[in-house]
Amino acid sequence: MNNAFPEILQCSDMTVLERQKAPLQRQQEQLQQQEKQQQSYFSELRGVFSNQTSHVQGLQGGLLSGDSLLCDMVMTPQAKPDPGLETARSELGNIDIAGMGFGQCGYVNGPSFDMNYAIYRTSSCPPAVVAAAVATEGVEAKGKESVESEKLGSAIGRESFKKRKADKLHCSKVVAEDDSKRIKACAEERESKITGPNTNKSSSSNNNNKKQTSTETSKENSKFSKVQKPDYIHVRARRGQATDRHSLAERVRREKISERMKYLQDLVPGCNKITGKAGMLDEITSYVQSLQQQVELLSMKLAAVNPKLDFNIDNLFAKQLFASCTTTFPTVGMLSEMANPPYLQFNPVQQVVSCREVEMGMGMGMEINSPDMALQRTINAPLSIPDASFLDSSCLAQFQSSAAWDVELQNLYNVGFDQEGSTTPFPSQPFTGTKS
Amino acid sequence: MRPPSSLRQEFLKKWMMGLQRYSTSKKNMSILERKKAIKLSADVAIASARNGTTCWSRALIANGYSKDGGDDKHLVEQILGPESERLIMKKVLTGGASVCNKRMRSKKILKRSCGIQRTRKFAPQVALASSIAKRLVRKRTQILRSLIPGGEFMNDVTLIEETLDYIISLRAQVDVMRSLASASELASEP
C-alpha cells in the first residue's frame, strides 16, 4: 500500500479504472501479507469471530450491495492454505451473500452501529477483505463510490462515539484505530484522494520531529505497520527514529490524538481548511461555546413562551403535523370532525390524542390495536380522567411502547426539523376553535 | 453529521418526563426559574441518553444531583429511572471526581519535577517556535477543558473523545429544543 503512493501520484492522468486496478493488486499482495501477520492472533479472535458471523453478514451485505459476483472476488484473495485461516474462511464462505436483507442504510440506523463496530473491533481481517472487496467493487461501479466511502467515513465517525457500547475486548480501541486507518487509507486510495494518508504520515512524522529528544533524522517510512495483540501493543519504530519506550509511547499517544482530531474535523463545520492542532482546537471551542449558548437561548425562549411549563407535545406536534400533512391525509379531516362533537366539552388534549391516533392508524397504514383501545378508553371514560398531565403521561407511555411513536416522531422530525424557521400559516382546522 | 433520530427521540422522551414534574407542581415560577428548570431537565435528559458511559454525562448528572433542593434529586431519579439511577450515581459518586483529581494533581507534580530537565538544546529560533506552538495548544486545551463538563479530570485523548460525543449530544439537544420552541410559538398563535 505504501509503495503505491509515489506511483499513483505520478500517474495522475491515468483513468480511474487503471488507478483502481493498480492498488488493487498491491492490496491483494498486502492482504496476503497481512493475513500471515494476523494468523497468529486469529486463533484467539476466532472464538469471538464466530459469534459475529451474523454481523459480518450484515457488513458484507451492506457493503457489497447485493452483488453475488463480488462474492467470488472476496474469496479469491483468501485462497491460501493457512490452517489458522481455515475456519475463518469457512465462516466467511458460509455467508449467504446472495440473500441480503440488510439494507444499504445499515450504516445509518442505530442498531447496526454495534454490528459494524463489532466487525472493526473483533477482527482485522474482514475489514481488509472488505477493503479489497470495496476496491474491486469500485472498478465496477464508480457511482457507488462516494456513497460507500461516505458510509465508511460515517461508520468510522460513528464508531468512535459508539465504541463504548460494545467494549468487550481489551485492545478494542487500538484495533479499531488500526482498522479504521487501514480502511480509510484504502477508501481514500480508491477515490484517488491520495493526499490523505500521505499527510497523515507526514504530519505525524513532523510531530515526531518536534519532540525528538535524541539526535536522529526522521524519514518517511515505507514499512510503517502496527500490529496488535490483546495484551499489549506492538509498535514498530519507523526507519531512522528513536526506539526508546518514551518516544514510542509518545508517538502512539500523538497518533491517537490526531486520529480523533480528524473525526472532529468532519464533525465541526468549517474545520476542513484548518490544519494544525491549535487552530482546530480554537474552532472546536468556539463551536462548543456557540452550541451551549444556543441551548441557553432556547431554554429561555421556551420559558418565555410557556407560562406554566406544560408542554402538551401531542397538541403541539399534532398541529404541526396537520399543518403540513393535510394534503396527504385528506380523510383525516372527516374523521376528526366525526370525533370532534363527542369531545367538545372535554379537554382538547384528549381530542387531539384520539384523532391523532386515528390519523396514525389511517395514514400510516399500520395495524395498531392500542390506538383503538385508547380511543375507546377516551370515549368510554371521559369524565374519569382528571387532568391532562395524566393523559399525557399515559399516552406517552403507551406510545412509547408502540412502534407508532417512533414512526410519528420520525415524521414530525422530518416535518419539524426540515421546516425550521419557516412559519407555516395554519389552515382552518377543527381544533383551533376548541383549543382552550 | 446529523445526530441520529433515536438519540433525539430518547432525549425528547426523557426531557418531557422531567418537565412533567414541574408542570404538576403548584407554585408559580418566575421566568428565570422556569428557564433553569428547562435547562436542567434538558441537561440531565441528554446526559442520561448516554447511560453513564461517558465522563461528561456523569459530570452533568452530578451537577443536577448536587444542586440544593430535594427537587432536583427527584428529577434525576425520575429521568434516569430507578435502577439505572442507582448504577449511575454509584459511578458518579464513588468513581469519579476525587480519584481523578488526585491523579491529575500527582501528574502535575511529576511533570513539574521532571519537565525542567526536558528542554532541548537547539538553536533558539527552533526551540522558540515549537514551544510557542506547544503553549498555544496547551492553552486551548485548557479552554476546551473548562467548557466540557467534567473536563478537568480527563487526559488529552479522553478529552477529544468526550468532545466528539458531547458535540453530537449538544446538537441533538439544540435540534429538539428548537423544534419544540417553534412548535410552541406556532401553537400559541391566536
Q: Is B35 part of any domain?
A: yes
- pLDDT tens per residue across all 190 residues of chain B: 677 888 888 888 888 888 877 777 767 778 888 888 888 888 888 888 887 778 888 888 877 776 645 556 666 666 666 666 666 666 666 655 555 556 666 777 777 776 555 555 555 666 788 899 899 999 999 999 998 988 888 888 888 888 999 999 999 999 999 998 888 888 777 6
- Residue A144 confidence (pLDDT) above 90: no
pLDDT of residue B72: 62
**Contact yes or no for B180 and A296 at CB 8 A:** no
Give the domain extent around B38. Answer: 4-94+165-183
**Number of folded domains in chain B?**
1
pLDDT band at A225 (very low <50, low <70, confident <90, very high): very low
Residue ranges of domains in chain A, CATH in brackets: 245-319 (4.10.280)
**How many contacts does A have with B, using Cβ atoms within 8 A?**
177
Q: Which of A267, A280, A301, A424 to mutate to test the interface with B (most CBs of B within 10 A)?
A: A301
**Contact yes or no for B34 and A319 at CB 8 A:** no
pLDDT of residue B104: 65
pLDDT of residue A27: 60
pLDDT of residue B30: 81
CA angle in degrees (0–180, nearest 5) for B131-B132-B135: 85
pLDDT of residue A4: 47
Asked if residues A116 and A59 have their Cβ atoms less than 8 Å apart, the reply is yes
**Contact yes or no for B179 and A417 at CB 8 A:** yes
**Contact yes or no for A309 and B164 at CB 8 A:** no
Q: Is B69 part of any domain?
A: yes
**Contact yes or no for B39 and A160 at CB 8 A:** no
**Contact yes or no for B181 and A305 at CB 8 A:** yes
Closest residue on chain A to B157 (Cα): A257
Q: Is B49 part of any domain?
A: yes
Asked if residues A24 and A132 have their Cβ atoms less than 8 Å apart, the reply is yes
**What is the rounded distance in angstroms from the CA atom of residue A371 to the CA atom of residue A407?**
14
Average pLDDT over every residue of A65-77:
43
Asked if residues A27 and A182 have their Cβ atoms less than 8 Å apart, the reply is no
- Which letter does DSSP use for residue A233 in this model? E
Higher per-residue pLDDT: A15 or B55: B55
pLDDT tens readout for residues A378-409: 444 443 433 333 434 444 444 444 444 444 45
**Chain A partners of B177 at a C-beta cutoff of 8 Å?**
295, 298-299, 302
Cβ-defined contacts of A238-245 (< 8 Å, 24+) = A238/A205, A238/A208, A240/A216, A241/A208, A241/A212, A241/A216, A242/A212, A242/A213, A242/A214, A242/A216, A244/A214
Which of A3-12, A149-158, A265-274, B72-81 has maximum average pLDDT? A265-274
pLDDT of residue B37: 83
Listed in sequence order, the DSSP H helices in chain B are 5-24, 31-48, 55-66, 70-80, 82-90, 97-115, 124-147, 156-187
Q: Is B140 part of any domain?
A: no
Q: Which residues of A28-50 are buried (b: 16+ CB within 10 A; e: fewer)?
A: eebbeebbeebbebbeebbeebe
pLDDT tens readout for residues A156-204: 444 444 444 444 434 444 444 444 445 444 444 444 444 444 444 444 4
pLDDT averaged over every residue in chain A: 53
In this prediction the ipTM stands at 0.84
Average pLDDT over every residue of A109-125:
43
Instruction: Nearest by CB to A161, from B16, B156, B164: name it.
Output: B164
**Chain B partners of A255 at a C-beta cutoff of 8 Å?**
none
**Chain A partners of B107 at a C-beta cutoff of 8 Å?**
none
pLDDT band at A304 (very low <50, low <70, confident <90, very high): confident
**Contact yes or no for A285 and B147 at CB 8 A:** yes
Q: Which of B125, B182, B189 to mutate to test the interface with A (most CBs of A within 10 A)?
A: B182
Least trusted range by pLDDT, from A87-91, A228-232, A364-368: A364-368
Q: Which of A165, A349, A417 to mutate to test the interface with B (most CBs of B within 10 A)?
A: A417
Q: Is B172 part of any domain?
A: yes
Q: Which of A255, A264, A295 to mutate to test the interface with B (most CBs of B within 10 A)?
A: A295
Instruction: Nearest by CB to B161, from A160, A303, A323: name it.
Output: A160
Asked if residues A130 and A190 have their Cβ atoms less than 8 Å apart, the reply is no
**Chain B partners of A256 at a C-beta cutoff of 8 Å?**
157
**Chain B partners of A323 at a C-beta cutoff of 8 Å?**
186
**What is the rounded distance in angstroms from the CA atom of residue B49 to the CA atom of residue B79?**
10
Q: Which residues contact B135 (CB under 8 A, 6 or more apart)?
A: none
Higher per-residue pLDDT: A274 or A389: A274
Q: Is B99 part of any domain?
A: no
pLDDT of residue B88: 66
Closest residue on chain A to B7 (Cα): A110
**Contact yes or no for A257 and B160 at CB 8 A:** yes
**Contact yes or no for A295 and B42 at CB 8 A:** yes
Instruction: Nearest by CB to B35, from A282, A299, A424: name it.
Output: A299
Query: A176: closest CA among A277, A270, A260?
Result: A260
Cα-flanking dihedrals φ and ψ of residue A233, to 5°? -100, 125
- Which letter does DSSP use for residue A114 in this model? H
Q: Is B125 part of any domain?
A: no
pLDDT of residue A375: 43
**Contact yes or no for B19 and A278 at CB 8 A:** no
Closest residue on chain B to A433 (Cα): B190
**Contact yes or no for A410 and B5 at CB 8 A:** yes
Tell me the percentage of chain A whose pLDDT exceeds 70.
17
pLDDT band at A286 (very low <50, low <70, confident <90, very high): very high
Closest residue on chain A to B175 (Cα): A417
**Contact yes or no for A302 and B38 at CB 8 A:** yes
Instruction: Nearest by CB to B187, from A282, A294, A315: name it.
Output: A315
Q: Compute the nearest-CA separation of A70 from chain B (Å).
A: 30
**Contact yes or no for B175 and A417 at CB 8 A:** yes
Which contiguous run of DSSP H or E holds residue A227? strand A226-228
Closest residue on chain A to B168 (Cα): A267
Which residue carries 496547551 as its cell? Answer: B138
Q: Is B150 part of any domain?
A: no
Instruction: Nearest by CB to B22, from A210, A288, A309: name it.
Output: A309
pLDDT of residue B65: 73
Instruction: Nearest by CB to A420, from B24, B143, B179: name it.
Output: B179
Q: Which of A284, A319, A428 to mutate to test the interface with B (most CBs of B within 10 A)?
A: A284
- Residue A295 confidence (pLDDT) above 90: yes
**What is the rounded distance in angstroms from the CA atom of residue A313 to the CA atom of residue A254?**
47
